[in-house]
Amino acid sequence: MIVENLRWAHEQGLNVLPRIPVIPGFNAELSDAEGIAKLLHDIGLDRVQLLPFHQMGERKYEFLNRDYEMTGVKALHPEDLTDYQNVFLNLGIECFF
């Protein structure tokens, strides 16, 4: 449904900016970037914002007395995602943080 809505919004001429959280163990591999970039390219989108994973939510889980499954996972920074970003750039998609 998300992809359908994204496609529809683009077809309607709406200003769409996909914002992609990059999360270790979920979508931080180059193969993930390739799949996302191809999807956006096929839809016709030419801009994307990457949101590197961070640990800012950990404290919220503590306050809620819930387990935080990402404890100990290293935060990502833009310099960690150069190759990831280049996947989008190589398809002509403006990619920034």
Let me know if residue 66 belongs to a domain: yes
Let me know if residue 5 belongs to a domain: no
Let me know if residue 8 belongs to a domain: no
* Domain extent at residue 66: 17-96
The two tokens of residue 4 are 């359908």
Let me know if residue 52 belongs to a domain: yes
Alpha helices in the chain (DSSP H): 2-11, 30-43, 58-63, 82-89
Let me know if residue 3 belongs to a domain: no
pLDDT tens figures, 5-34: 999 999 999 999 999 999 999 999 999 999
Let me know if residue 50 belongs to a domain: yes
Work out how many domains the chain is built from and give that number.
Answer: 1
* pLDDT in the model for residue 11: 97
* pLDDT in the model for residue 88: 98
